[in-house]
Amino acid sequence: MTSSSGTATADTDAVIVESGGANVASLGFALERLGARVTVSADPGRIAAATHVLLPGVGAAADAMRRLRARGLDRLLPELTQPVLGICLGMQLLFDGSEEGAGGATTCLGILPGRVERLRPAGDLPVPHMGWNQVASLRDAPLLRDLGALPYAYFVHSYAAPPGPATDAVCDYGGRFSACVSAGNFHGVQFHPERSAAVSARLLGNFLKLRTQPERACA
Amino acid sequence: MPCLDVRDGEVVKGVRFRDHRVVGGILELAARYRDAGADELVFYDITASPQGRTVDRTWIARVARVLDIPFCVAGGIRSVADAEAVLGAGAEKVSVNSPALEDPELIDRLSERFGSQCVVVGIDSQTVGEDYRVQQYTGDVRRTRDGGRRTLEWVLEAQARGAGEIVLNCMASDGVRRGYDIEQLAAVRRVCRVPLVASGGAGDMQHFAQVFTLAGVDAALAASVFHSGEIKIGALKRELRANGIEVRP
C-alpha cells in the first residue's frame, strides 16, 4: 500500500517500545505502510538510538509502569530528545499520574503535567468508550496537520486525561477529554492512530516527518 | 460492520447457519471493505469450535497488514494463550462464544489479562416460545444445540464477568434479509450496559436505520447484503445520516 501523505524517508528508524500490549503488531504494520523501518524493542540502548520512539499500550497503567521500571525505561523515556509518540495507555503514561491502579494512584512518567482520570461520562454512556468519535483541534499541532475538520478516530479506553496545558485536541464522550497532547518533542494520542482509517496514515506520517531538534524548544 | 465467516481460509456465507457457499478470498474482501469505509470488520472462523480446534491464525497477520480499521476475530478461542496469539497478530478484539458457554470464567481471565475492551462475547440466540435461549456450536448444523441458558441472563453474566461488548446474533433472522429482530435486540438493550452489536437479518438500508433507532444498538453487523454488493457501505452511511443517526463519513 502506498500513501500520498507523509512517506517516511529511508533514514527513519522507528522503535516501538515493547510494552507487553497487544497493539504492537498493528502499529508496526501501519508504520511500515508509510515506508518506515520499524523495530520492536525494550532495550534502552536501542530505544535511545531510534529516530522516532512510539510508546503503545493496552492494559493497566500500574502494570505498564512496572514493566517500564523493570527495564529502567521510566528514567530513559523522559530524557529522550527525538520525537516520541504515546498511544492510548502510552499517552496516559506521559502524565504525572493516573487514577488507574491500586489506591487510585499510579505514578507515571511525569513528562506532561496532569493526572489521568477514569471516564465518568454524563448520560449513562457505556465505559469503555469504544468506537469512532470526532477529534476537535484546540490549537495548531504538527501531528494534526491536514487531518481536516473534526476527523473521526477510533477510541478504546476507560481512562483519559482531562483537558490541560498539554492538550492540542479534545474529544467529547459525555464530557471532554484530551484526544491529542504535546509538549516539546513529546506527543500523545488517546485514540488508535493505527486503526483510524484515513487519520492513521496522515497522523503517523506527520509524526514520522518530525525530526530531532538540537535543543528542546520551549515554544 | 461487515462480518466475514471464514472456513478453510475462504469467506463463506450460509442461510440460517446452513448451506455455506464461498464468496471470496479473505484479503480481497478485507481490502474491499476497508476502501468502502467499513468501521470495523469481524472474522468468524465458523468451523473452529465444532471441530474442537483453534482458529487457523496465519491469515490474521496478513489481514492486519492491509487493514487500517479495527477488526475482531472469533472462533475457537479457549484460553488466554489463544487470545494472546490472535491479538499479537494484530487483531483489536477477540470474540468468544461456545468456549465461554463451556467455561464462563474464560471471560474473567481474558478481561483481566487484556482489558474488557478486547473481549467481545458473541451470543447466538434463538426464540423459544416466549423466551430467548442461547445456542451453542452454531457453525455446524449437526452439532448445534441449546446452550442451557436464557439469553438475557447470559448477557448479564457475561458483562458482570468483564465482557466489553456483546454481539447478539438472532438466529431466526440470520441470512434471510427480513430485518433485524428488533424486539429481541431491544430486550437485550435494556439489560446490556456495554456496547451492543446487532447481527442477523439485514436486507435493506431501512433495516439498519430501524435497528439503530428502535433497538438502540451501537453497531450493526451484516454479511450477505455487503458480500453481494446489494448494499454499498457509502450509500448506507448516507442513508443513516439522513435518518438522523450519527455515523463516521
Partner residue facing A58 (CB), from B61, B114, B165:
B114
Q: What is the pLDDT, as a whole number, of residue B174?
A: 76
C-alpha B230/C-alpha B177 separation (Å) is 11
Indicate whether B133 pLDDT > 60: yes
Q: Quickly state the pLDDT bin for B19 (edges 50, 70, 90).
A: low
CA-nearest residue to B89 within chain A is A25
DSSP string, A28-89: HHHHHHTT-EEEEE--HHHHHH-SEEEE---S-HHHHHHHHHHTTHHHHGGG--S-EEEETH
Query: pTM (2 decimals)?
Result: 0.87
Indicate whether A5 pLDDT > 50: no
| C-beta atoms of A195 and B70 within 8 A | yes
Q: What is the pLDDT, as a whole number, of residue B176?
A: 76
Please report, as a single letter, which amino acid is at residue B161: R
Q: What is the pLDDT, as a whole number, of residue A69?
A: 94
Mean pLDDT of B188-216: 94
| More confident of the two residues B116 and A87 | A87
All three cell numbers of A132:
469512532
Any idea how long chain B is?
Answer: 249
Indicate whether A6 pLDDT > 70: no
Name the least confident of A77-81, A182-186, B112-116.
B112-116
Q: Quickly state the pLDDT bin for A21 (edges 50, 70, 90).
A: low
| C-beta atoms of A22 and B88 within 8 A | yes
Q: What is the pLDDT, as a whole number, of residue A10?
A: 66
Q: What is the pLDDT, as a whole number, of residue B70?
A: 94
Is there a catalytic annotation at residue B124?
Answer: yes
Q: What is the pLDDT, as a whole number, of residue A73?
A: 95
Mean pLDDT of B211-227: 92
Q: What is the pLDDT, as a whole number, of residue B81?
A: 92
Q: Best interface-test mutation with B: which of A2, A16, A130, A199 has the largest number of B CBs within 10 A?
A: A130
Query: Other CB atoms closer than 10 Å to residue B115's CB: what's the count?
Result: 21
Indicate whether A138 pLDDT > 60: yes
Is there a catalytic annotation at residue A194?
Answer: yes
Q: What is the pLDDT, as a whole number, of residue B130?
A: 87
Indicate whether A58 pLDDT > 80: no
Mean pLDDT of A43-51: 96
Indicate whether B53 pLDDT > 70: no
CA-nearest residue to B247 within chain A is A132
Indicate whether A102 pLDDT > 80: no
Q: What is the pLDDT, as a whole number, of residue B55?
A: 52
Give the tens place of pLDDT for each residue, B168-177: 999 888 777 8
Q: How many angstroms away from the CA of B89 is the closest CA of chain A?
A: 6
Cα-Cα-Cα-Cα torsion A188, A194, A195, A199, nearest 10 degrees, comes to 70
Q: Mean pLDDT for chain B? A: 88
Residue A86: exposed, middle, or buried by beta-carbon count in 10 A (0-12, 13-18, 19+)?
buried
Give the tens place of pLDDT for each residue, A22-41: 578 889 999 999 999 999 99
Q: Mean pLDDT for chain A? A: 89
CA-nearest residue to B1 within chain A is A131
Indicate whether A45 pLDDT > 70: yes
| More confident of the two residues B118 and A187 | A187
Q: Quickly state the pLDDT bin for B30 (edges 50, 70, 90).
A: very high
Q: What is the pLDDT, as a whole number, of residue B18?
A: 59
Q: What is the pLDDT, as a whole number, of residue B114?
A: 85
C-alpha B209/C-alpha B241 separation (Å) is 9
Partner residue facing B70 (CB), from A59, A152, A154:
A154
Query: Other CB atoms closer than 10 Å to residue A13's CB: what's the count?
Result: 16
Indicate whether A189 pLDDT > 60: yes
Indicate whether A132 pLDDT > 80: yes
Is there a catalytic annotation at residue A171?
Answer: no
Residues 6+ apart with CB under 8 A from B140: B47, B50, B51
Q: Quickly state the pLDDT bin for B31 (edges 50, 70, 90).
A: very high
| C-beta atoms of B87 and A152 within 8 A | no
- % of residues, chain B, pLDDT over 70: 92
Mean pLDDT of A179-184: 97
Long-range contact pairs involving B86-90 (C-beta distance under 8 Å, separation at least 24): B86/B55, B86/B57, B86/B60, B87/A22, B87/A23, B87/B114, B87/B118, B88/A22, B88/A24, B88/A25, B89/A25, B89/B57, B89/B60, B89/B61, B89/B64, B90/A25, B90/A26, B90/A29, B90/B60, B90/B61, B90/B63, B90/B64, B90/B65
Q: Which of A99-103, A131-135, A146-150, B139-143 has the highest average model confidence (pLDDT)? A: A131-135
Q: What is the pLDDT, as a whole number, of residue B211?
A: 96
Which residues of B make CB contacts under 8 Å with A? 34, 37, 39, 61, 64-70, 84, 87-90, 92, 114-118, 164-165, 193-195, 218-219, 248-249
Indicate whether B144 pLDDT > 90: no
| C-beta atoms of B117 and A152 within 8 A | no
Mean pLDDT of B42-48: 78
Indicate whether A4 pLDDT > 60: no
